[in-house]
Amino acid sequence: MARPDILSRNPFEDAFAKLGHTPLTLAVLDLDHFKTLNDTLGHTEGDRVLRAVERLLSGSLPSGSIIGRIGGDEYAVILPESAAETALILFDEMIRHFHIHRDPHWPRSLGISVGLAARPAHASEYAELYRAADEALLRAKREGRGRACIFVESKMVLKSNYYPKSQLERLSKLSGALSRTEASLLREALDELVERYRAEL
């Protein structure tokens, strides 16, 4: 069976767009302490690590998966028709495989962390889904690295203290109409607000 190509960022995003509204899981992953390896063993050894990760990804993922190198040591994977829980099991196995079979000259701290987000459960559009997967990746780093985590929607605690009931009802209606979570809509509004007043920061 032919191994999938490793796409660059733009072709990877194009491949996502071509899937339309297919349910899928998006994984974002990078190497733990990769900079330390580059600084101590050199970029040639760093390139060997990246090639090993790419072989592991292209050789271990199910048929139909799409792999992209987003930049540096960061990769993303699209798993069409896969639930986040299924992807979690898959990437847990890959992380263990990398840990067991890595070159003994590489630092023991070198590992892989993965963040996962599913469509439609967590978001529908690429930018929102990527942000959710990236948040899950950051949580994997905070929780000790060398692991995979699924995105967990942060609760808008006490939002009723900040917004009148009429606005919350409109937000709920908009959320249903757009098939997006209230939290993602509020994050979008906050992003636009920060961008508008960026000069003041």
pLDDT digits (tens, 9 = 90+) for 17-52: 999 999 999 999 999 999 999 899 999 999 999 999
The segments of the chain whose pLDDT lies below 50 read: 156-157
pLDDT value, residue 189: 81
Separation of alpha carbons 96 and 92, rounded Å = 6
The single-letter DSSP state of residue 170 is H
* DSSP per-residue letters across 110-167: -EEEEEEEEETTT-SSHHHHHHHHHHHHHHHHHTTSSSEEE--PPP-TTGGGTS-HHH
- Supply angle C-alpha 35, 59, 136, rounded to 5: 50
Please report the pLDDT score of residue 179 as a whole number. 75
pLDDT value of position 161: 55
26 and 119 Cβ atoms separated by less than 8 Å: yes
